[in-house]
Each structure stands twice: as C-alpha cells, then as structure tokens.
C-alpha cells in the first residue's frame, strides 16, 4: 500500500470483533425499587421461599437442593436449579447435608454468576431452620455468597430468610432449629427475617393446600412492598432508599400490616396501630426493643383527600413511644390505588432481639432445658 504522506499503513493487524455481551439480569416488574435483591433457596422449604420472590417478578432467584425431586416442584427454569446430592438427599440430617455441600463451592459460585449477575445490593439465603439440606447447607452458601459479592467489589450485604417450625413438626425438627439458631449468630447476617410459621398459622388459619404459600407470601409481599415504596416518590412524605437501608442493615427485622377504615380523629389512627400491628407481627418478637422502624401509610380513595396530616403524625408519634427509648421511626405517606376509602398501615421493625419466646417454646418441644438454650443463644 502506497504512503500518500497523510496516513499510516497498519497492515493486516487482526482486530477482534465487538463483543455483544450477555444481557444484564433484571427484575420483571415495570416500576422502580430501592434495591436490587437476589435470592437463593437452600433445601425444599428454602426453595419455596425463594420461588415466592420469583412469583413477585424478581429476576435474580435460584435454588439448591440435595434431591432432584424437591427441585422439580419449583416453577423455576432448570438453569436456576442446582442438585448437589448425587441422588442421596440429606434425610432431615443437617450434618449429612453439610458433608454433601463440601466440594461444590465452584458449582454454587457459578449458579450465582448465571442467575444473579452483577447488579446486586442485597443477597438473601432462604432456608428452613429445622430441616436437613437448608439447616446443614446454609453456612456454606452464605460464605460463597459473600465471596461472590466481594468478587463484584460490592458491599457484602448478605441477609437470611429463615423458616421456624410449627409446634406439630415434632422433637427432631425443634432440635434442628435450635442447632441452626446457635450457629446463626456467628454469621454476621443482616437483615435476618424469621418466618415464624406457628405465628402465621395462628394468624391466618390457612387451608392445608395453601399453608406453605401463605406462610411465605406474608413475608415476601411485605418486604417487596417496602422495597417498592422506598423506590417511589410520594406527593406527601417519602420513605426513601436511605431509610430502608437503615432497617435492612439493622440485624433482625420483622413486618406487620393493618387496615384502618375511619380517620376522623387522631385516636382512630393511633389505636389500630397500637393494637392491630402488635397482634399482626409476623414473628414472635419483643417489638418494644426495636430502636429503628419504618411506618408507611397507604391512603386509598377518599382517605388521601380527607385524612389530616396531624392525625397521621399522632399515629407515628405513638408508634415511636411504644418502641425502645430513643428509637427512630421513618415515616412515609403514599397514595394507594384501591377504590373506596381506607388506610393500609405497613410497619417494618429493625434492630430487634432474637425471637426468644419462640426459641424457648422450641426448647420445650426438643426436651432441652430453657436455661441451657438461653445461655447458648444469648437470649
């Protein structure tokens, strides 16, 4: 090629083709949320919990089990499932499950890489405290999730959603749950959300065919609602991303909800908050020890136009008083889409102590002295 004095002959240097790249993993809903959440279910119960978030259109959801049969029941694409049991299963034995997870770190890491992607704010490990695979496998999965977040150079915000057994599940399940609780405190997780299945059964009294769905949806929908509202602007008072982060980073959290159908005076709002929210807490915890909370009013129909701000403020102030001294309550007020007139109150409480009452009940189920359990768990 002739040099005309204006250009340089680069010859036949091979130039690699442009890389199209793998599409980013995203959620399937068409509105903003505060945080990008990822979920992995460990074991049968954990898989069901994680799949509940898939039903809410979260896109970063996967599951791990030691039996193909349990994975098969999940309505997740096959690439989101990982079987590590070699057809053996854990047989409700946490120690056997822990052994089965050995040597599978890279398989789990690759599962996250395929199904979580790179845009994650919080990762949740979901499992049952009382079973085999979840109770025995969750420590390994939590450690791998931390390494995965570290590989992305993102904060290692790893939380857990943990199902506690019902009374009628028997002594062995209670023993497994106490074993799990003993190890959990050492893992440094936040947030920690307990699905207190006995409490939820007592509250909702679901039909047998819907029991698991209601237990999981009660928690998943409230976590999702806070994530959605914290990503939305309000015409009144916004509960924002920073507020939600304070709660998510505070350790043990729980939720409650209540409906209010009249709001003419301040007591119409403060009384249901005090009475219904206490009754409707999704876990048996001492909420008077909470030092940080979110309290959101969703004003439906005529309530948005007619409720007085002073009455809402009175309800928030009352809620602050029934929590721990010097507590902080982050308020939010949003317009709802329901017709008619009502106020839905959503509460999220953080910095909670462990569910000591429920753990003591499980100690009784397990035939273990309460004093010994309290000493072991520090509750």
Q: Is residue 201 part of a domain?
A: no
| pLDDT band at residue 281 under the 50/70/90 scheme | confident
- Which residue range forms the structural domain that includes residue 137? 37-189
CATH number, domain of 182, equals: 3.40.50.1440
Residue 284 sits at φ, ψ, to 5 deg, of: -80, 90
Tokens of 92: 């409700």
Sequence-separated (6 or more) residues with CB below 8 Å from residue 343: 259, 260, 261, 263, 269, 297, 298, 299, 300, 303, 307
Q: Is the pLDDT of residue 211 over 90?
A: no
* In a domain? residue 208: no
| 270 occurs within a structural domain | no
C-alpha distance from residue 26 to each of 115, 137, 244 (Å): 10, 27, 21
The pLDDT of 303-327, averaged and rounded, is 95
Q: What is the pLDDT of residues 214-238, one digit of tens each?
A: 888 989 999 999 999 999 999 999 9
Asked if the structure places residue 126 within a domain, the reply is yes
The answer to whether the CB of 223 falls within 8 A of the CB of 257 is no
pTM of the model: 0.91
Domains in the chain: how many in total? 1
- 42 CB neighbour count, 10 Å cutoff: 33
Neighbours of 273 (CB within 10 A): 23
Which pLDDT belongs to residue 5?
Answer: 54
Residue 102 lies in a domain: yes
Task: Determine the pLDDT at residue 3.
Answer: 52
Give residue-wise pLDDT tens across range 174-189.
999 999 998 998 899 9
* Residue 76 domain flag: yes
pLDDT digits (tens, 9 = 90+) for 70-108: 899 999 999 999 999 776 666 678 888 888 899 999 999
């Amino acid at each position: 090629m002739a040099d005309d004095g204006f250009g340089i002959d680069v010859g036949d240097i091979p130039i690699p083709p442009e890389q199209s790249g793998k599409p980013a993993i995203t959620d399937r809903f068409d509105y903003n949320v505060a945080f990008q959440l990822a979920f992995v279910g460990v074991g049968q119960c954990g898989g069901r919990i994680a799949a509940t978030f898939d039903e809410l259109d979260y896109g970063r959801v996967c599951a791990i089990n030691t039996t193909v049969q349990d994975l098969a029941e999940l309505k997740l694409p096959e690439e989101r499932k990982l079987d590590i049991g070699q057809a053996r299963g854990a047989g409700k034995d946490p120690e056997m499950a822990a052994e089965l997870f050995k040597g599978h770190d890279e398989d789990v890491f690759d599962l996250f890489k395929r199904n979580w992607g790179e845009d994650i704010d919080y990762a949740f490990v979901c499992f049952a405290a009382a079973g085999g695979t979840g109770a025995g496998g969750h420590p390994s999965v939590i450690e791998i999730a931390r390494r995965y977040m570290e590989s992305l150079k993102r904060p290692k915000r790893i939380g857990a959603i943990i199902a506690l057994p019902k009374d009628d599940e028997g002594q062995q399940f209670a023993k497994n749950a106490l074993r799990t609780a003993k190890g959990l405190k050492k893992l440094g997780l936040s947030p920690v959300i307990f699905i207190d299945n006995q409490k939820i059964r007592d509250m909702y009294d679901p039909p047998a065919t819907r029991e698991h769905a209601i237990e999981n949806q009660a928690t998943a929908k409230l976590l999702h609602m806070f994530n959605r509202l914290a990503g939305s602007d309000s015409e009144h008072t916004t509960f924002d991303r920073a507020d939600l982060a304070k709660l998510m980073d505070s350790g043990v959290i729980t939720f409650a909800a209540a409906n209010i159908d009249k709001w003419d005076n301040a007591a119409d709002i403060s009384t249901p908050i005090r009475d219904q929210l206490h009754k409707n807490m999704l876990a048996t915890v001492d909420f008077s020890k909470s030092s940080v909370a979110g309290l959101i009013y969703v004003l439906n129909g005529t309530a948005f136009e007619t409720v007085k701000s002073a009455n809402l403020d009175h309800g928030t102030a009352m809620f602050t008083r029934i929590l721990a001294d010097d507590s902080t309550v982050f308020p939010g007020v949003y317009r709802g889409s329901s017709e008619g007139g009502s106020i839905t109150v959503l509460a999220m409480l953080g910095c909670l102590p462990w569910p000591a009452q429920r753990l003591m009940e499980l100690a009784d189920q397990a035939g273990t002295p309460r004093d010994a359990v309290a000493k072991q768990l520090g509750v």
